[in-house]
C-alpha cells in the first residue's frame, strides 16, 4: 500500500503532540500530504472524523484516555471509528521521535494477514519486522472436555505447532529480499494476550493487527486481537481493517462451535483431519 495522504487527529494539547510528530515523520518518509483535523474537547464526533478520513491512506491519532462505562461498551473510541472507516489507523501512545525500529505483526496466515504484513513492512521500511502467530488452544480445550486421553491431546498440540511452523515458513517466503530483516515467532494461547506478551518481551515499538468490522456488542461478546492489544498493551498500534486489504473473511469455526471441535477430535484420533 502506498501512503500518499495522512490525516492526523489532535485537540492541539501537549499530550496529543505525539500523534502529530509521528504523522509528520511518516509524511516525510512517504512524501505524503498531511492534513490536520482539530478535535474539540469531549466525546468524539465519529461521523465527522470518518467523513474527513475517507480517501486518505492513513489516520493517525493519540491514544484516547476515556475510561467510562460507555467507552468500554463501544470497545474504545478508536474501535468505534474503525466501524465507520476502511482506512488503517495508527494509535500513537509513546513520545518517541525516532523511526520505528522493531515492528511486531500478529498474523494468522490468511491472505488478509499477508496483505496486512506487507503494509506493516512498508510503513517504516528500515524497521526490523517480526511475524508472530499464536497457536490457539480452543480445540485442545474441546478435546479435554470430551475426555480425550492426555497423549492424544499432546499429539494434537504437537501437530498444530508443526503445521504452524510450516505455514510461517511459507508466509515468510513472500517477503523476498526483505526476509533478511524479517523474524518469526510462535506463541500458544489467546492471540491478543500473547501478542501483548510478545511485544513486552521483544520491546517492539509498534504492533500491527487486523480488524474485522463488527458491532460494539460483537466486540464485547467475542473480543478481538485489536481490542485486547489496545486495552492491555503499551506500544503504538497500527490497526488494519479487513476492508482495507480487500478480503472478506467467512465466519470463523470457533464462532459456529461444532465444526472446529469435530476437526480437532478427528485429528487427535488419526482420522485424517488436516
* Nearest to 63, CA basis, from 91, 40, 42: 91
Of the pLDDT bands very low, low, confident and very high (cuts 50, 70, 90), residue 218 is low
- Mean pLDDT lowest for which of 39-43, 53-57, 88-92, 134-138? 39-43
pLDDT digits (tens, 9 = 90+) for 47-68: 899 899 888 999 999 985 444 5
The fold adopted by the segment(s) 1-95 is Rossmann fold (3.40.50)
The cell numbers describing 115, all together, are: 496483505
What distance in Å separates the CA atoms of residue 163 and residue 142, rounded to the nearest whole number?
Answer: 19
Domain ranges of the chain: 1-95, 98-274
CB neighbour list of residue 207: distance below 8 Å, 6 or more residues apart: 103, 104, 105, 106, 195, 199, 229, 233, 235, 236, 237, 238
pLDDT at 152: 83
pLDDT digits (tens, 9 = 90+) for 246-274: 655 443 333 333 233 323 333 333 333 33
What distance in Å separates the CA atoms of residue 189 and residue 108, rounded to the nearest whole number?
Answer: 13
The cell numbers describing 270, all together, are: 488419526
The fold adopted by the segment(s) 98-274 is Rossmann fold (3.40.50)
pLDDT digits (tens, 9 = 90+) for 5-34: 999 999 888 888 999 999 999 999 999 999
Alpha helices in the chain (DSSP H): 17-30, 46-53, 69-74, 77-82, 111-123, 138-145, 150-173, 191-202, 216-222, 225-232, 253-256, 258-268
Average pLDDT over residues 106-129: 90
Q: pTM for this structure?
A: 0.80
pLDDT digits (tens, 9 = 90+) for 148-206: 788 887 888 889 899 999 999 988 887 765 667 789 999 998 999 999 999 999 999 99
What distance in Å separates the CA atoms of residue 251 and residue 248, rounded to the nearest whole number?
Answer: 10
Pairing mode of beta strands 33-38, 206-211: unpaired
- Which has the higher per-residue pLDDT, 215 or 126? 126
Number of residues that make up the chain: 274
In angstroms, what CA-CA distances link 216 with 79, 81, 203, 208, 225?
8, 11, 31, 21, 14
pLDDT at 259: 35
**Domain 1-95 matches domain 98-274 at the CATH topology level:** yes
Amino acid at each position: 500500500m502506498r501512503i500518499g495522504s495522512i490525516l492526523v487527529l489532535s485537540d492541539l494539547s501537549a499530550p496529543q503532540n505525539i500523534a502529530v510528530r509521528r504523522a509528520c515523520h511518516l509524511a516525510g518518509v512517504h512524501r505524503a500530504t498531511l492534513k490536520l483535523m482539530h478535535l474539540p474537547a469531549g466525546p468524539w464526533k465519529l461521523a465527522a472524523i470518518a467523513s474527513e478520513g475517507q480517501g486518505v491512506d492513513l489516520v493517525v491519532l493519540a491514544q484516547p484516555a476515556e475510561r467510562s462505562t460507555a467507552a468500554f461498551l463501544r470497545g474504545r473510541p478508536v474501535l468505534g471509528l474503525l466501524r465507520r472507516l476502511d482506512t488503517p489507523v495508527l494509535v500513537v501512545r509513546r513520545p518517541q521521535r525516532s523511526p520505528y525500529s522493531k515492528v511486531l505483526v500478529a498474523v494468522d496466515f490468511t491472505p488478509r494477514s499477508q496483505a496486512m504484513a506487507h503494509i506493516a513492512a512498508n510503513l517504516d521500511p528500515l524497521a526490523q519486522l517480526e511475524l508472530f502467530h499464536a497457536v490457539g488452544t480452543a480445540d485442545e480445550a474441546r478435546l479435554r472436555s470430551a475426555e480425550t486421553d492426555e497423549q492424544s491431546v499432546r499429539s494434537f498440540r504437537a501437530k498444530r505447532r508443526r503445521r504452524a511452523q510450516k505455514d510461517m515458513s511459507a508466509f515468510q517466503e513472500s517477503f523476498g529480499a526483505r526476509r533478511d530483516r524479517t523474524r518469526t515467532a510462535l506463541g500458544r494461547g489467546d492471540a491478543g494476550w500473547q501478542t501483548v506478551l510478545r511485544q513486552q518481551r521483544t520491546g517492539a515499538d509498534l504492533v500491527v493487527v487486523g480488524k474485522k468490522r463488527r458491532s460494539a456488542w460483537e466486540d464485547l461478546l467475542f473480543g478481538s486481537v485489536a481490542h485486547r492489544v489496545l486495552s492491555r498493551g503499551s506500544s503504538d498500534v497500527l490497526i488494519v481493517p479487513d476492508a482495507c486489504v480487500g478480503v472478506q473473511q467467512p465466519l470463523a469455526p470457533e464462532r459456529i462451535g461444532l465444526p472446529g471441535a469435530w476437526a480437532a477430535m478427528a485429528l487427535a484420533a488419526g482420522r485424517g483431519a488436516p
